[in-house]
Amino acid sequence: GTRIVSGSYDGTIKLWDASDLTAGALQTGSGHSSWVYSVAFSPDGTRIVSGSYDGTIKLWDASDLTAGALQTGSGHSRSVYSVAFS
């Protein structure tokens, strides 16, 4: 792949160009109220899912993180440590 997604203690996710990490993040997505523990790309690379200490998962459009999450799932009573697409 050509992109990397990361999750942070500050509650954001960031998209990076894998060929030049020194250039800084391409985009930042905000919306979690606590640490982001896990992130994953969808198999086709168009979506990103994130899981957080705040107990939510969020679905993002990988082409526009700044627009905010497309959907939020809040069914967990505690932190979400892992996310994955089928």
Contact 52, 69 (CB under 8 A): no
Backbone angles phi, psi at 84, to 5 degrees: -160, 150
52 beta partners: 36
CA distance 26 to 75: 30
pLDDT in tens, 37-82: 999 999 999 999 999 999 999 999 999 999 999 999 999 999 999 9
Interacting residues of 10 by C-beta distance below 8 A, sequence separation 6+: none
Token output for 25? 């993040």
Mean pLDDT across the stretch 14-34?
97
* Prediction pTM value: 0.94
The answer, yes or no, to whether residue 17 has pLDDT greater than 90, is yes
pLDDT of residue 80: 97
